[in-house]
Structure 1
Amino acid sequence: MAKDNKTPQKKPRFSAWWIYGLIAILLIGFQFFGGEGFSTTKKTTTSELQEYLRNGDIQKIIIITNTDQARVYLTDEALQKDVHKDVAEKPLFPTTGAIPQYILDYGDLQLFQSDIDEIKKENSLDTIVEFDKESNLFMDLLITILPFVLIIGIWIYLMRRMSGGAGGGAGGQIFNIGKSKAKLFDEKTDTRTSFQDVAGLEGAKEEVEEIVEFLKNPDKYTSLGGKIPKGALLVGPPGTGKTLLAKAVAGEAKVPFFSLSGSDFVEMFVGVGASRVRDLFKQAKDKSPSIIFIDEIDAIGRARGKNNITGSNDERENTLNQLLTEMDGFGTNTNVIVLAATNRADVLDKALMRAGRFDRQIYVDLPDIRERKEIFEVHLRPIKTSETLDLDFLARQTPGFSGADIANVCNEAALIAARKEKKAVSKQDFLDAVDRIVGGLEKKNKIITPEEKRTIAYHEAGHATVSWMLEHAAPLVKVTIVPRGQSLGSAWYLPEERLIVRPEQMQDEMCATLGGRAAEKVIFDKISTGALSDLEKVTKQARAMVTIYGMNDEIGNLTYYDSSGQSEYGFTKPYSEQTAQKIDEEISKIVEEQYQRAIAVLHEHKDKLTALAERLLEKEVIFKEDLEKIFGRRPFEKHFDQKGQEIPSDKLTPEEETTEENK
Structure 2
Amino acid sequence: MYHRLDSKVFAETCNNAARFLMLCALRQALRGTEQFKNDAKGIIICIVDKEWIWHAKSAATLLMTGGRERSYYDDFRRPVHIIGETQRRTTHKGAEDSAVFRPEHQAIYLATSLDGVRAALQLAADVIVNISPPTARHIVAARKVLGVGDVDLQLATAIAEQPAEIVIGLTARHSLKELDIASLVKPTTGPDRLPKLSTLPGYGPARHWVDAIKQDVNDWREDRIPWSDVDRGILLMGPPGTGKTLFGTALANELGFDLVKTSVGEWQGTNRGYLGDMLSAMSRSFADATSRRGAVLLVDELDAIGDRSTMRGDQAYYEGNVIGRFLDLTTHALEQPGTIIVGATNYAHLIDGAVLRSGRLEKHVYLELPEDEERAEIFAYHLNQAVAPKDLREITDKLALATPADLEKLARAAKRAARIRKGDIAISDIKAILPAQVPLPETVVHRICVHETGHALMAMASGVADVISIRVESHMVEGQPIQDGGRLHYKMHNEALPTEKDLLARIRIMLGGTAAEEVVFGTRSIGAGGAIGSDLDQATRLAYRLVGSYGLGKWLRYQVGANRVDESFVPSPELRAEVDGILAREYRAAKELLTKEKTRLLRLSAELVVDRHLRIEKR
TM bracket (short chain): 0.3 to 0.5
Using structure 2 for the length normalisation, give the TM-score. 0.45
Look at both structures and tell me which one has the larger radius of gyration over its CA atoms: 1
* Higher relative contact order (Cα pairs below 8 Å, separated by 6+ residues): 2
Using structure 1 for the length normalisation, give the TM-score. 0.42
